[in-house]
Amino acid sequence: MPMSYFIGLSVVMFAMGILGVLLRRNPLVVFMSLELMFNSANLLFVAFSAYHQVLDGQLFVFFVMTTAAAEVAVGLALIVAIFKAKRTIDLDQMSSLKG
Amino acid sequence: MSLNEIASLHPFFQLAPLVVFLPVLGLLINLLVGKRLGEKGIGAVASLATGGAFAVAVLLAVGLAQVSEGGTLTLANWINLGDLDVNWSFRIDTLSVLMMLVVSGVGTLIHIYSIGYMHSDVRHNEDPGRFRRFFVYLNLFIAFMMVLVSSDNFLMLFVGWEGVGLCSYLLIGFWFEKGADGIGNARAAKKAFVVNRIGDFGLLIALFLLFYNFGTLNFTEIFAQAPAVAAAAPGAIMAITLFMLLGVTGKSAQLPLYVWLPDAMAGPTPVSALIHAATMVTAGVYLVARSQALYFEVPAAQNAVMWVGALTALFAATIAVGQYDIKKVLAYSTISQLGFMVAAVGMGATVAGMFHLTTHAFFKALLFLGAGSVILGVEHGHAHAHAGEHGHDSFDPQDMREMGGLRKRMPLTFIVYLIGALALAGIAPLAGFFSKDEILAAANEKSIGVYVLLTAAAFLTAFYMGRQLLMVFFGKPRSGASEKAAESPLLVTLPLVILALLSVFGGALNLPGSHLLETWLEHSLAETAPGQFVLTVALISIGIALLGLLLAWLVYGRKPIFEKGQPDPLRRPLNGLFKALENKWWVDEFYHTVIVRPYQSIAKFSAGAVDQGVIDGVVNGMGSLVQSGAKAWRRYQNGYVRSYALTIVFGVVLVITYLVLR
């Protein structure tokens, strides 16, 4: 398969991720969009790793996945805390930190 | 000459610092424990302190009689900075010791007089607590004056110069809540201070130039280098001497800065006698005499000094003719006599100038103290004549129109005042005759124009003193106060008698033929012209003085002097001219319009348009700029995470675009 397919898929996934983060109001969906972006990056890592015949890229993917897992854990905990305080998890309601 | 050498030469010279420290000790005692001493104690401490300084000065003089070249005693190193090396040193030579003798001698008498005078004055002004303050200031003044005259360099001289200016300010404003509108005295003090600042600015510039051109401020070194520097840079010496002249016109009340001295009469009378007649105002004369070596290098500057002095002498004398306030007449007379001295030192007749300074200190102190005695007597009479009356009236105890006939009420004061007035008028053989005659003789030789000016001033001097004598002491009393006036107590009259004796015999200091003062001073001065006695000049000066007195008698003495409320008899024949004299040639008004008013409007402009407008505008503008900027930017701080994320995306896109397209 030509390399450009992987890159194209990755770009599409990343764009979907960005749009999800920017447009959705549900934090769970936002998190999923974030994961989408992580994974688009991971896809590229793996693709280039295979293409160049070096293992560094595949190694890096594990780090990214670990970080993503930790980030989700923290994020979900925050969301639970916010829900307890505000009785809602709508992102548009969380705008008290403004000038 | 090193310190040890001096010490081995004459032990008396080691006492020199005491002339400063004894008055300081006196003021410290009065300051710390004065409250418990009572009025007599305070007066005694202050007088003893000054008297002690006088005793030390006498010892120094005795020492100088044996070791006439004098010496320098270094007390402390003040500034040591690169090339600049300034010590607090006492220069003991005949010129400085002469000044010390005059200052402390006349000062002691005035201290004693003040005990009696201030006793009444503080009661008249209803604040006996200020008695102590007065003597503290007086001792402080003596200390600073001694610093001024004993210094061996220009910087310590400047310290003393400023110090006496401060004391002058404090003492003019001694009754600072009194005077016209309750602020008149404070205003007079402020005026003296501000006008003196202008002069001091000149002196300070002269000091800077001296250091720049000579690399030192020490008298001996500067005067030794003067001819060399004058040859290399004549302009520099010219500038130094002219700026110094500006300082002299401020401190010694010469044209055009004399205006503060008449207003300074707001101070208590002993202050007028001590500071504004006998000692402080002569500091300018001393400065020129001391810097003679510099002035000899530039004849043009000498001429400037001479003409300033001569013009002042005549100008002030004319104003004195039209004044009614007993102290104002004396104030203008002082300015006029200072003009004589300044003209003398300008001519290079330094000995004559110093001689006149000394005799003038005697008879002008006598006149002022006599005037103080008259004021006391009139105040006393006023209190008696209006006993039982309440409420404050506008009675002015210094107005000569309210006096008259005091000869019978205050006989002793009358006699000493007469002596002082005749000495001032220049009637032989009183002190003033000899000193004034020496100046006139020198002027006659140097410049006929100056001679004419000074002779005219001498004529007016005799006239206004005759006018004052006749108005105050002769005729019939013109008010209840002068009718009931009483002779002053012994403490007041005793110094008057001593000063009167000095005014009579002071001429012996430098009699033609003996030239005592000249032989005394020739050790300190660069060059002394041999004093001369020209018979024609002497006869003319006596004739002029007698003529002035006669004219005064014709105008004021023949008829019973004008009744209360009537205009001055001179007003009709002189008409407009007398009005000008009465109003002091409108100099104050002129200065007010030409300098003070524009200055005030500039100040108002700077305070309003420049400070509040431009400077505050810039500062406030910065503030509101930041504020409005913040107001615009806070729209982006909306709290929505997604909009921040959008910003990040844009940022990343921009950075990447740049990196790719680079």
Could you read off the pLDDT of B493-547 as tens digits, one per residue?
Answer: 899 999 999 999 988 888 877 778 888 888 777 666 666 677 888 899 899 999 9
Residue in this structure with the two tokens 């410049």, named with its chain if needed:
B447
Cα dihedral B87, B19, B344, B500 in deg (nearest 10) = 170
For residues B143 and B163, what is the distance between their CA atoms, to the nearest angstrom? 9
- Chain B residue with CA closest to A24: the answer is B642
Nearest to residue B552, comparing CAs of B568, B538, B540, B536? B568
Q: Quick one: pLDDT at residue B391?
A: 47
Interface test with chain B among A31, A89, A94, A98, by most B beta carbons within 10 Å: A98
Q: Quick one: pLDDT at residue B517?
A: 83
Q: Quick one: pLDDT at residue B123?
A: 87
Q: Is residue A99 domain-resident?
A: no
Q: Is residue A79 domain-resident?
A: yes
Q: How far is A9 from chain B (nearest CA, A)?
A: 19
Q: Is residue A24 domain-resident?
A: yes
pLDDT in tens, B541-556: 899 999 999 998 888 8
Q: How do the residues of chain B divide into helix, strand and coil, expressed in percent and rounded to 5?
A: 80, 5, 20
**Are B642 and A95 inside 8 Å of each other by CB?**
no
Q: Quick one: pLDDT at residue B1?
A: 43
Residues of chain B predicted below pLDDT 50: 1-7, 391
Contact residues on chain B for A96, CB-CB shorter than 8 A: 639
Q: Is residue A89 domain-resident?
A: yes
ipTM: 0.85
Contact residues on chain A for B639, CB-CB shorter than 8 A: 94-98
Tokens of B150: 């004993």
For residues B524 and B517, what is the distance between their CA atoms, to the nearest angstrom? 12
Q: Is residue A50 domain-resident?
A: yes
Q: Are B27 and B47 in contact (CB under 8 A)?
A: no
Q: Are B24 and B50 in contact (CB under 8 A)?
A: no
Ordered per-residue pLDDT tens for chain A, 99 residues: 888 999 999 999 999 999 999 998 888 999 999 999 999 999 999 999 999 999 999 999 999 999 999 999 999 999 999 899 888 888 888 887 776
**Are B639 and A22 inside 8 Å of each other by CB?**
no
Q: Is residue A98 domain-resident?
A: no
Domain CATH number, residue A57: 1.10.287.3510
Q: Quick one: pLDDT at residue B581?
A: 84
Q: Is residue A7 domain-resident?
A: yes
- Chain B residue with CA closest to A19: the answer is B646
Domain encompassing residue A68: 3-93
**Are B649 and A99 inside 8 Å of each other by CB?**
no
Q: Which residues of A touch B (CB under 8 A)?
A: 18, 21-23, 91-92, 94-99
Contact residues on chain A for B645, CB-CB shorter than 8 A: 21-22
Q: Are B497 and B362 in contact (CB under 8 A)?
A: no
**Are A98 and B642 inside 8 Å of each other by CB?**
no
Tokens of B536: 């024609």
CB pairs under 8 A between A and B: 28
Dump strand ranges (E) for B61-198. 71-81, 84-92
Q: Quick one: pLDDT at residue B600?
A: 92
Tokens of B455: 């002779």
Is residue B391 helix, strand or coil?
Answer: coil
Q: How far is A15 from chain B (nearest CA, A)?
A: 11
Residue B364, number of CB atoms within 10 A of its CB: 29
**Are B640 and A21 inside 8 Å of each other by CB?**
no
Residue A94, number of CB atoms within 10 A of its CB: 16
Q: Is residue A78 domain-resident?
A: yes
- Report DSSP state, residue B556: I
Nearest to residue B295, comparing CAs of B339, B348, B257? B348
Q: Are B378 and B402 in contact (CB under 8 A)?
A: yes
Q: How many domains does chain A have?
A: 1
**Are A22 and B649 inside 8 Å of each other by CB?**
yes
**Are B646 and A23 inside 8 Å of each other by CB?**
no
Q: Quick one: pLDDT at residue B563?
A: 64
